[in-house]
Amino acid sequence: MRTMVMKQTSLEYRNPENAPDEFEAKMLTQFKTTSGIEPTWGEDVDKEGNKTIRYILPLYIKEDCLPCHGKPAYEGELDITGYEKEGYEIGELRGAISIAAPASHLDAIIKTNSLILLIIGVVTTISVIFLTYLLIRKFIRIPLSHTVAATKVIAKGDLTKRVDIKSGDEFGELAESFNTMAQSIEEKTRELEKTTHNLEIANEELRGLDKVKDNIIRDVSHELKSPLAQLRLALELWGEGIKDGKKDKDKEELFDGIIKDNINRLNKTIESILELTSLEFGREDYDKESLQLRDLVIQVIKSSTLLAREKGLTIKSVLPEKLPNVTVDKQGINRVVTNLVDNAIKYTDKGEILVSLQQKNSGLEFLVKDSGIGINIPQEHHYKLFDRFYQENVATPGTGIGLSICKTILEAHGGKIWVESDGKDKGTTFRFTLPIINEKESSVADS
């Protein structure tokens, strides 16, 4: 069968062309015995052996059918087509419309449809996979890779890295937790760095102390043994002269000078050591009183003028009146000012020395500026000048302990001292500050 065939069929056919085949007869019998069956699909094989698709639609008698198929008004009544009326009643099965179509055609359609379905399936699957990939990428991979990248950066040591994801989902939460963790690590690391730094400083200070100890031994040794050597030689040579009965007035004066100088030098060294030791251990009692620093400075300048005049130096002073009082230990601060002014004279051979006092913020600043030998060490080592026994120029008499004492006294008053110099032979400026404490604060501080 090459084409589709549609025909009417009935178990009680009137036209032999409408005689049912095997499939139709079976279905008609079913329709007849079981009422209410819907149109039915089926499969069959035609005479040539080809697979055939069948469709059969039952036809039940309705009102409209009765003029041809209803009860005859008389025996042998014919309908309009010339057949005898069979006497059917409404609802009875009259026959069926049967369609038979070659299955080969439908198979092809099924195959095509299957192929289309397959293609749609594959395309859909690929699309779903691709969409899923995009979604994963947007909502999982990118946030995750940001987090991983941030982790790597942090692992490499840059603790300031943060993840910028504000999605509000689990990744947002993860990013937030991650950032909190990173911040915590950063803070902890900072603290650790600070502690390490402090430890390094402490260590450095300890090493410094060790060095200070070595230097003290070296300087004390030098400051004691050098005068001793000069004393010994002077006495030996003097003694030789006496033994030989020679009398040389010039030499005797020289010996006398050397001996006196060196005894003074030894005495000064020993006093300085004792003084510094007592100061550093806080045994020195400060007797603080409110006074005009100007008066104290003028007093010091007066007593140093002679020394300056001997060296042909002039002392110029800029000391404004009506500066606030400072509450200090008179003796201690007097020692500081004297030491600084004497140093300026000692290390200057010509020119002038400027002494000034001025109010700066909540303190008084004292300055002594000379045109002397200057400081021949780099700025960053200037603090060493305040180390005990440090002496830049050992040729100049003195023990180098004076500045260390000044620093200790000033620090005990809440002040500080520093030095400035443009280098060798370019003069030196020492400055110190003392805080101005009003009477009220002073009494509170004392209590």
Partner 1 sequence: MGKTIMIVEDEQAFHDLYTMMLEDTDYEIIRAYDGDEALAKLEEKKPDLIILDILLDLVTGDTFFLYIKGMPEYADIPVIVCSSFSEKAYKNLKEMDPKLVFLEKPFTKEQMIEQIQAKIG
Burial class (CB in 10 A: 0-12, 13-18, 19+), 18: middle
Contacts of 374 (CB under 8 A, 6+ apart): 421, 422, 423, 424, 425, 426, 427, 428
Q: Which residues are within 8 A (CB) of 152 and not within 5 positions of it... i.e. 6 or more apart?
A: none
Closer CB to partner 1, residue 57 or residue 259? 259
Query: Phi and psi (nearest 5°) for 54?
Result: -115, 150
Q: Based on CB atoms, which residue is closest to partner 1, 357 or 373?
A: 373
Among candidates 83, 108, 64, which has minimal Cα distance to 15? Answer: 83
The DSSP-derived string for 285-305 is PP-EEEE-HHHHHHHHHHHHH
Cβ at position 207, least distance to partner 1 in Å: 20
Residue 288: CB partners within 8 Å, gap ≥ 6? 327, 328, 329, 413
Q: Which DSSP category does 348 fall into?
A: -
As measured in angstroms, the least distance from the Cβ of 210 to partner 1 is 16
To partner 1, the closest distance from the beta carbon of 250 in angstroms equals 10
Which amino acid type is present at position 326?
A: V
Minimum separation from the CB atom of position 243 to partner 1 (A):
13
In the complex, least distance from residue 345 CB atom to partner 1, rounded to whole angstroms:
19
* Centroid of chain to Cα 78: 109
Could you tell me the smallest distance in angstroms from the CB atom of residue 232 to partner 1? 4
Report how far residue 101's alpha carbon sits from residue 1's, in angstroms, rounded to the nearest whole number: 8
If one counts every other C-beta atom within 10 angstroms of the C-beta of residue 215, the result is 16
For residues 379 and 36, give the distance between their C-alpha atoms in angstroms, rounded to a whole number: 117
Angstrom distances, CA of residue 20 to CA of 55, 99, 332, 391, 408: 13, 12, 141, 138, 133
Q: Which residue number, 241 or 414, has a Cβ lying nearer to partner 1?
A: 241
Q: Which residues bind partner 1 (CB under 8 A)?
A: 218, 221-222, 224-226, 228-234, 236-237, 240, 251, 254, 258, 261-262, 376, 392-395
Q: Which is nearer to partner 1, 135 or 394 (CB)?
A: 394
- Give every CB contact of residue 309 below 8 A, 6+ residues apart in sequence: none
Provide the minimum distance between the beta carbon of 252 and partner 1 in the complex, in angstroms, as a whole number: 11
Burial classification of residue 230, based on how many CB atoms lie within 10 Å of its CB (0-12 exposed, 13-18 middle, 19 or more buried): middle
Query: What is the rounded CA–CA span in Å between residue 104 and residue 227?
Result: 133
> In whole angstroms, how close is the CB of 223 to partner 1 at the nearest point?
8
200 vs 256 by CB, closer to partner 1: 256
Q: What share of the chain is helix, strand, coil (3-state, %, to 5)?
A: 55, 15, 30
Min dist CB 255 to partner 1, Å, is 9
Nearer to partner 1 among residue 2 and residue 218 (C-beta): 218
Nearest approach in angstroms of CB 419 to partner 1 is 18
